[in-house]
Amino acid sequence: MAPKQHPTSSTPFSVRAESESLPALASYLLSLISIKKSNLCVSADVHSTSILLKLAEEIGDSICVLKTHADIIDDFSDRTIKGLQEIAKRKNFLIFEDRKFGDIGNTVQSQYSRGPLRIATWAHLTNAHIFPGPAIIPSLRSAATSTLISLNQSVSTEISTGTPRTSLDGLSTTGTDPEPDLDPFPSSSTSDAYLYRPSSSNTQNTLSPTTTEFDMSHRRSSVVTATTTISQTFEPCPPNPATLQRSMSSSSGDKPLDRATALKELGPPPHARGLLLLAQMSSENNLLDAEYTDNCVAAARDHKDFVLGFVAQENLNADKRDAFLVFTPGVGFPPEGQEAGVLGEKSKGDGMGQRWRGPREVVRDEGVDVVIVGRGVVNARDRASEAEKYRREAWRGYEERIGRRK
């Protein structure tokens, strides 16, 4: 079967990454795929933090994205999030939480940014159905924006104390660095500086502003000052993807970068979030028909700043301006002696409606970008070796598709 005839099918990932029309996160992912030579996403369908982190550690070098199901992890906590983020940073992959949002805007905003999962705080990518209507997209985008802003704000409070005393020049000080304009006797309207003094009865201490009963020659009081600072920082955007060319070829005359150096120059992911729309499914007899798929594509075009692409079974780019990424699940190696299935043909399954196709065939023949593999890797005896096997085959399909390999 010939690959889908759209420019994205025959254009190298590194060249697509240079498009100025792409969101920063999409550009970063395409660059990452090119440097690692991996268009493999592994679906970590596991039930404990320890197994999730162990899996991520074992396969991280072979993947570009790790897909999670946070709601099936029995002991999901901050430890899960921090551990996963640390491995993702060290192994250079993005995190994709497969939440499949599908509700009214107000509800999905809370599901995305609040509750025990707080997905928007740690997952670079997530996904959604559009059967509630296309308004689900700006609702999720708004929640992502608010979450990222809150993550970048830090509040610190500094408390200083001192004992008022009379200086050599007759002025009262707090025992710290002189403050010429500091009034050691603030009025009752001052909210952040109070003088602590014993009461006149000497039976109970109170916290109150200074009164006329205060006698500096007999009493010592402490000034407590609280200063609150709100700061805001932002993570850098990824470097210009054009520098990626040096890691792919020496056509510019420069020596190609090795993988480690190229990844270092690429830097961390941009401080952004992205959405994938569920346009097609790999399960048998699913109800996502062609009209629904077309509506997904139309909605994505209206929100190209947040929608990076689709979860689908084929390349859905049709308009010449389309540049969406396609993630394809239902990928697995067939049993020995059986050929991998292709779209429209009966392929092997799990007895529960799921159908699988080979990674090389899916990438080469359907023009998709990233293959999603679950149990084929997770249940393998040697998960690192199996992930590498899938990576090589998916990459081979990509090179055959763009004409680098026959």
Active site members = 100
Contact between 73 and 52 under an 8 Å Cβ cutoff? The reply is yes
**Which parts of 312-377 are beta strand (E)?**
325-328, 370-373
Q: Which residues contact 38 (CB under 8 A, 6 or more apart)?
A: 62, 63, 64, 391, 394, 395
C-beta neighbour count of 146 within 10 angstroms: 14
Q: Identify the burial level of 310 via C-beta atoms within 10 angstroms of its C-beta, where 0-12 means exposed, 13-18 middle and 19 or more buried.
A: buried
Question: In the chain, what are the helix, strand and coil shares in percent, each to the nearest 5?
Answer: 35, 20, 45
Secondary structure class of 195 (helix, strand, coil): strand
Instruction: Say which amino acid occupies 392.
Output: R
Rounded distance between C-alpha atoms, residue 257 and residue 244, angstroms: 9
Q: Which residue has the tokens 């608010």?
A: 146
Secondary structure class of 400 (helix, strand, coil): helix
Secondary structure class of 294 (helix, strand, coil): helix
Alpha-carbon distance values, 114 to 15, 36, 100, 249 (Å): 37, 33, 16, 45
DSSP assignment letter at 71: G
* E strand or H helix that includes residue 79: helix 78-91
Report the chain's terminal Cα–Cα distance, integer Å.
Answer: 15
Q: Which residues contact 212 (CB under 8 A, 6 or more apart)?
A: none
